[in-house]
Structures are given as structure tokens and as C-alpha cells.
Structure 1
């Protein structure tokens, strides 16, 4: 698995769809607006940003979430690095990322700086962003991770199509790798995901989702 890349087809020439999971990488309505609603607002960002803030993510995909967070970080006036760690089993090649991210011209400054140096995996020092993408199955790589995050973006493919990334044992690892007072947010409101997060120790709430999704989930770890 660790040597595999993302397998794509393109919807309307712009939206990448995983052929492995039969699911788009971002909302067909407006991927950037969805990311801001689910992952920034869902984690009370940028209000919680502070020096040394660390975001972790399940599913790096196109890098859209990272770029959105990085833009918010700089726009909030932060000059120290935002720490961002993502776990990705099937990384997308940079050329496909560039094609997908062309749909979001408002992020072009951050996209261009990122793609200029990104090789497809590993670490990337972008001055105000320190990115690490850990390649492989998160069920194996997350337990071995030594750090903790202040906020989690849970952005795997649909739980119905990618249940491995939403299992209770993995969500327990998310909680174990969350700093006290940390948060989690995800676009899905599936019952077993909510229960998994609650059993892991999160105080979970179901809130309005983005677009056609009636609900999403956010959680807080005391």
C-alpha cells in the first residue's frame, strides 16, 4: 500500500474523484467554502491560533485543507510557523494537485509557494508553514507518531466507502494524539463516527454541515 499513488478521474475537468473509493476529493459545490466551514469554523480557527499551533489531518488529498489553514494563519498576522501533519495512504502527484488547486484562484499565492518545493511526500519548510505528510496506512502510522495536535481535520473519504479511516481504534489514536483542550472536526455525521469519537473521550456535537450535508461533527477533548 505504501508505494501506491492516488488513482483519479476528473469530473467536469476540475474536480478530482478517487476511482479507488468512488468519492470526490472536495465538494462539487465549492471545496474552499466547505473547508472553511468544516475544518476552520469547526475547530474555532483562526481564533484559537497561537505560536506553535499544530494541526493534524487524516487524508491530505489535494492539499486544499492545508493551504486554507496556511492562508488563514498568515492573514491573521502570524509570522512563526504553523505546524501541519497529514496522514495519507495514497498521495496525489504534484501535477494532479496543481490541476485540482487551479479551481481556487484566491489561494494562488499559497498554492504556488507550496508546489514550487513540494515533491509529493515527506517534509516541507515554507517559512510560516512546516508541513509533514506521513505516507502509509494511518492505522499503522498514527500510533507511531510522537506528537499531539491542537486541532484535527478528519477528511478521509466517505465512511461508507472508506470505513478503515473511521474505525473506533483509529479514532482512539486521534484522541491519544490530541493535546488537552484540543478539537476535532469532520464533514460526516455518521452515527458510528460520532460514537467512536465519544468513546475516545471527545465531547461531541452535531452542527449544521456545508451545502447539501445537513450535519457535520465537531468535538472537544478536555
Structure 2
């Protein structure tokens, strides 16, 4: 049996009714019931959430009186293709390694396989290593009873089934799809924070898919320290891809030394792509996002120095740090103050609130010389008489604005 228990940490996983259903199915199958999986698939239908592309997802446990789905309602498979598989740009490489963090129902992994196979010519690579990491064996098992989304998902299902049978959680091998010889799928059922420190030093990845629940609910896999571990696992032109555009995540990624940019948009916002190579960044962050990351307390990262803190401790510590720096060394994020710098504001009420925050730094207008000094790195020509060379990347602009914020804060 698998033991993923950590007394200080309760991960966010699919709703308990689904987890209980999976455990009951596992028990029945281990007791010899050959129809248990079919029964579980039928029972699961009551919990499935259909997304816009016809594929299905599940809801999370309720936390703070609400829950979220494991995938966007715009389409589970569409999200996997457009936000993870396609931006990874792995076609044409001979030997590929992918680390899939929070594999969930195997949708991202399936999309990656699909992206690496030509319908006519076959597999586009010689060898693929796919490390799937999921803390909950029940979530992995649910992969076998949700409707399959493709032939590539069937390959993932076979790998998951092999793992669960090998570890005594299931007894029967019903999945018929064979795993191709050129594809090596390793399933890891453990806290990803433990997994990353156990990966051999000679293993490096072309792509890391980072797909936990949202940072506000699962900050432990978005911390400065965890992302630093992931950055060290990348090849020189590897990428970390995540669906989130959250400021603390973006700050932590660039703080590891990676270049960052905006991923494809699906719904209201794009995700984030990070890489040691600027050549892998095709779209910089929006100017407003760069400012929020660099200048406001929104960019304060999640922290987990020993990679074992609870969700609550990580959230509480970040909140405390934000309150300490707000109005002292960082602009207030509450009214998105950085966004309005050197911009005209028609909303007088909002303008008064912004200026009220700026007074703490002895700034009295949106065009104050200090304001122009802060955001000058974003302009093609100098606007503050510093005459410094223009940063050409989002990381460069953010780091320079952050440095200038420190100068303003400590006159």
C-alpha cells in the first residue's frame, strides 16, 4: 500500500465523495469483484463535470465554503493542449523528458503524447520519459473510471493501472492499450515536494507541467523554494509551464533566475512560461503585470524553506510579509496602484485612493519624478533622465523596477 500521509499537511484533492467511491471500488476489486470497476465508473457519473469540449473533470474538496474544478470549464483537453502540450514545443527532439506535476486525471500527459505523434509518420521522438507525480492514489485511480478522452489517454490509463496493480490497490488489468516501447511512463504517488529532491542529478527535463489547484488554495507547489528546485531540473532550453498568472508565482519563477513570459490565453488570462533560455519566451508579460510583480506586495512569493510546511502556514506567513512591506518597501496592491503610474485616471475616487497610497512614499502625483523613475525601464526611451540601457525582457524590466523601488523606499 502507498503511504503519502504528512501529519502537518492536507493537500487539496477531488471531493471526498469521489475519493470514498474510489476506495470502495479498490476494496471490492481486491476482494475479487471483477465488476467493481464497471460499478465505480457508473457511480462516478453523478460527480462528473462536463467541460465545453465534451471532456470531463471533477470538483475539488470544499475549502473556505467553495470548491474549484480540476480543469477549466472551457475544456479539459483543450486546456491541456493549448496551455501545456503545444507551448512546450517539443516536436523534433529525439530524447524527451517531461515532469508532470499534479498529474490528476492524466489529461496533460495524454495531450503531451498526442502532440508528439504524427498521425501518419508515428512518434516524432526516439525516446520519451514521462514522470507523472500525483499525491493522491485515489485521484490517479479516477483516471481509469472517467470517460477516456483519446487513444493517448488510454496509454496513460494503462500506465496508471500498472502502477495501482503493482502496489496492491487494484487486482485486475482491464486496460488493453499497450504502452509503446519508445515511451517510458513512471508514476509517482507522493508529495511533489519530496519527489523533486529525490530525482537523480543526471535527470533533467525538457518540460515541467505545473498544474496544481490554484495558488490561493495549493500554495505549497508554487513557493519560491519549490520552484527553485524545478528550475534546477531543467535542461538549458527547458520550460516550466503553468496555467496560472498569479504575481507571487511569476516573481518566484524569475527569482530563480529564469526568464518568464505569458502563456497562451484560455478564458480571461494567459498562463506563464519560464525558461533559462530567452529564446523559449515568445511573449513578454503585459506591462501592468510586470509592474504588479515588481512594485507591489502582490509579488511577494509564497515561501516554504524546508519544503514541508502546511498550506495554512504558507498562506499566513505570506499575508504577514505582505502587511509588513505594504506602504514600506512595496506599493499597495489593494487598488493596483502600480498600474496607474504615469497614466491618466478618469475615475477621481479611484485616483484619490491611489494617490493616498503613494503619499507614503512622498509621491504626490501620477507623473511625479519618482513615478517616472520607477517605471522608466518599461519605456523604449528614457522618461526620467537616467539614460540607462533599456531592459529587453520581462525579467530584466521587473528586476530593474524592483531595484528602483528599493531606492525610493530608502532615500
Which of the five TM-score ranges fits, normalised by the shorter chain?
Answer: 0.7 to 0.9
Please tell me whether the aligned partners of residues 14 and 58 of structure 2 are also in contact (alpha carbons under 8 angstroms). Answer: no
Q: What CA distance in whole angstroms lies between the structure 2 residues aligned with 1:20 and 1:3?
A: 20
* 1:19-98 correspondence runs (5 A): 19=61, 22-46=67-91, 49-75=92-118, 77-78=123-124, 80-92=126-138, 96-98=142-144
Offset of 1:206 from its aligned partner?
Answer: 2.1
> Please, which runs of 5 or more residues in structure 1 have no aligned partner?
none
Offset of 1:184 from its aligned partner?
Answer: 1.4
Offset of 1:116 from its aligned partner?
Answer: 3.9
Please tell me whether the aligned partners of residues 204 and 220 of structure 1 are also in contact (alpha carbons under 8 angstroms). Answer: yes
Structure 2 SS opposite 1:142: helix
Please tell me whether the aligned partners of residues 159 and 190 of structure 1 are also in contact (alpha carbons under 8 angstroms). Answer: yes
Q: Which moved more, 1:34-43 or 1:185-194?
A: 34-43
- The answer as to 2:60 corresponding to 1:18 is yes
Which structure's CA Rg is the greater one?
2
- The answer as to 2:230 corresponding to 1:174 is yes
In structure 2, what is the equivalent of residue 115 of structure 1? 157
> Please, which runs of 5 or more residues in structure 2 have no aligned partner?
19-46, 51-55, 168-177, 278-411
> In the TM superposition, what whole-angstrom CA distance separates every residue of 1:58-101 from its partner, at most 9, and x where no partner exists?
11100111111112212264263311112221134565213334
Match of 2:218 among 162, 178, 192: 162
Please tell me whether the aligned partners of residues 130 and 186 of structure 2 are also in contact (alpha carbons under 8 angstroms). Answer: yes
Q: What CA distance in whole angstroms lies between the structure 2 residues aligned with 1:197 and 1:45?
A: 21
* 1:199-210 correspondence runs (5 A): 199-210=255-266
Q: What CA distance in whole angstroms lies between the structure 1 residues aligned with 2:184 and 2:270?
A: 31
In structure 2, what is the equivalent of residue 133 of structure 1? 187
Aligned alpha-carbon RMSD (Å): 2.7
Structure 2 SS opposite 1:164: helix
Structure with the greater relative contact order (CA < 8 A, sep ≥ 6): 1 or 2?
1
In structure 1, what is the equivalent of residue 365 of structure 2? none
Structure 1 SS opposite 2:162: coil
User: What is the TM-score when the length of structure 1 is the normalising length?
Assistant: 0.84
Structure 2 CA distance for partners of 1:116 and 1:59, relative to 1, 3 Å: closer
Q: What CA distance in whole angstroms lies between the structure 1 residues aligned with 2:157 and 2:224?
A: 34
In structure 2, what is the equivalent of residue 2 of structure 1? 4
Q: Which moved more, 1:178-187 or 1:119-128?
A: 119-128
Please tell me whether the aligned partners of residues 14 and 139 of structure 2 are also in contact (alpha carbons under 8 angstroms). Answer: no
Q: What CA distance in whole angstroms lies between the structure 2 residues aligned with 1:126 and 1:23?
A: 34
Please tell me whether the aligned partners of residues 148 and 178 of structure 1 are also in contact (alpha carbons under 8 angstroms). Answer: yes
* 1:181-200 correspondence runs (5 A): 181-200=237-256
Aligned length: 215
Q: What CA distance in whole angstroms lies between the structure 2 residues aligned with 1:40 and 1:111?
A: 14
The answer to which structure has the higher strand fraction is 1
User: What is the TM-score when the length of structure 2 is the normalising length?
Assistant: 0.48
Offset of 1:57 from its aligned partner?
Answer: 1.8
